[in-house]
Amino acid sequence: MEKLAVNVKCPYCKKSLMDEEVQIDSFPSVRVRIQLGKKTGALYLSSIYGSYNIISEVPIPPEEIVLFFCPECSASFSLKDLCDECKAPLAFFELKNGGTVQICTRRGCEYHSIDYTNMSQKISTLYSIYEVFADPSRRK
Ligand SMILES: [Zn+2]
Ligand SMILES: [Zn+2]
């Protein structure tokens, strides 16, 4: 199965959340701020859709729900929508080419989804994803 690398930005201030310096799964990570109890810190998520690899400044115990914020404008990424699987709030990011990615904010829950606002955006988003993988060694 082809891996999908997402390129996301803040839905509010539109700044890119991609961090080229911190790589996870050999791709730039998605950098957000999190709050867990009274602690806050940076959290780096894998940009590979379906990968749960993270680097967190704040240790997150399994099953804990964390709050996600924009590192630039401090807006909350949490939605009112709840996870289908565990009822924790979902957080969302805007895809660079339109649409949103939603992830569950509970550590260890694997729920995530991508919403494309329309078909043409879906197509352009997929093209940009495949460009990431346009590695000459993979071409036939
Ligand atoms: Zn922002
Ligand atoms: Zn969940």
Count other Cβ atoms within 10 Å, centred on residue 131.
9
pTM of the full predicted structure? 0.80
The residue length of the chain stands at 140
Return the amino acid letter for 54: I
- Ligand 1 centroid to Cα of residue 104, in Å, is 19
Quote the tokens at residue 92: 């969302």
pLDDT digits (tens, 9 = 90+) for 92-109: 999 988 889 999 999 999
pLDDT class of 136 with cuts at 50, 70, 90: low
Inform me whether the pLDDT recorded for 120 exceeds 60. Answer: no
Cα 127 to averaged position of ligand 1 atoms, centre (Å): 25
- Per the model's pLDDT, the better-predicted residue between 118 and 40 turns out to be 40
Identify the residue with better confidence: 80 or 106.
106
